[in-house]
Amino acid sequence: MRVIEAIKPGSASKSLRLVEAPDPTPGPGQLLVRPAAIGLNFIDIYRRSGLYKMSFPHVPGSEGAGEVVAAGEGSTEASGLRVGSPVAWASSVSGSYGELVVIAADQALPVPEGLDIAVAAALPLQGMTADYLVRSVFPVGPEHTVAFYAAAGGVGLLAGQMIRTAGGRLLAVVGNAAKASLLMDDGVPPADIVTLGAMRNVTEELPKAIRACTQELGADAVFDSIGRDTFAASLRSLRRRGTLVLFGASSGPVAPFDPQYLNAHGSLFLTRPSLGDYTASRDELLERSGRVFAAAAEGRLSVRVGARFPLAEAAAAQAALESRATTGKVLIVP
């Protein structure tokens, strides 16, 4: 089979290579899957670049969806799935950038009837991330005004729909006018869209923009996936007892800071959550994925696939995501 290997830390073009590898065999409690589509996520970039410690070479990728083609001992009991079943996953044993993928059966996500398999590949990480952020980390309700960064990205488009469905007011923070236009087409009022690309000093201008939208009170919560470039601005954009949810670092890791700042600026809350802690048991994993998959299958959640790349162009796919040039979900189609 063909797989993509990250051979060394560095840029996508210097690190990622298409290679031939032996077909894997699932062990006990594992499933072998032929992916129909593979989801790209920023964690793939963090690992490939060396920001997250990884051994090299390795096959990148956590997420995807496809068909079970072989089952190891005990895997049917652990997952309820069998050969021929459609399945999605948010984590894999072998890495997901390949023509065959090994996953742990207890991490397998059943794909409901009526959900397109490519859409299923776009949802495990970003869909469940959006779900746990706005339902569990900061449960958004009609009384809340929240700012969400990268609102035209994969997580942002899903989370924005969830926020609005819950009755919350979404302040959508985007990088440029084209992404702002996409959100307006989806029904977000222009007055509730904040464009970073027009700002010369994000630390000063972003809080002013968010406070201008909230009668100078600030947001109840800021969901920040950018990290280093926006962290200070995010803290300054919160109202008293507001919550900063730092869930990514697309611009790089945040520098250490004095927690006394939280006290001095309104008894603020800061959290750095991860999906694994909000899908800690199989029951929780199935509840969260089932809710997201059902909403997509029934048309209550719209999933935008912004770009598709063949497996051989995985480096170009990662570069497009890393440059923030994409909207919605980026998929690799083997």
Contact 328, 158 (CB under 8 A): no
Percent of the chain with pLDDT over 70: 100
Q: Give the pLDDT score at 103.
A: 98
State how far the alpha carbon of 262 is from the alpha carbons of 75, 185, 234, 236, 242, in Å.
Answer: 47, 37, 12, 10, 10
Q: Give the pLDDT score at 197.
A: 87
CATH of region 126-275, choose from 3.40.190.10, 3.40.50.720, 3.20.20.100, 3.40.30.10: 3.40.50.720
- pTM: predicted TM-score of the whole model, two decimal places: 0.91
Q: Give the pLDDT score at 59.
A: 97
pLDDT digit string, tens, across residues 234-261: 999 999 999 999 999 889 899 999 999 9
Containing 131, the helix (H) or strand (E) segment is helix 124-132
- What average pLDDT does the structure give for the chain? 95
Neighbours of 291 (CB within 10 A): 15
pLDDT at 60 over 80: yes
Containing 159, the helix (H) or strand (E) segment is helix 154-165
Cα 302 from chain centre:
15
Q: Which amino acid is at 9?
A: P
pLDDT at 51 over 80: yes
pLDDT digit string, tens, across residues 61-95: 999 999 999 999 999 888 889 999 999 999 999 99
pLDDT at 325 over 80: no
Give span(s): CATH 3.40.50.720, the chain.
Answer: 126-275
Taking residues 34-42, report their average pLDDT. Answer: 96
Q: At 326, is the pLDDT very low, low, confident or very high (cuts 50, 70, 90)?
A: confident
State how far the alpha carbon of 111 is from the alpha carbons of 98, 226, 251, in Å.
Answer: 20, 31, 33
Query: What kind of fold does domain 2-123+303-333 have according to CATH?
Result: Quinone Oxidoreductase; Chain A, domain 1 (3.90.180)
Cα 86 from chain centre:
22
For 220-258, letters b (16+ CB in 10 Å) and e give: bbbbbbbbebbbbbbbbbbbeebbbbbbbbbeeebeeee
- Contacts of residue 126, defined as CB under 8 A and 6 or more positions apart, other chains included, come to 39, 41, 154, 155, 158, 329
- Written as six digits, the tokens of 45 are 């970039």
Q: Give the pLDDT score at 256.
A: 93
pLDDT at 324 over 90: no
pLDDT at 127 over 80: yes
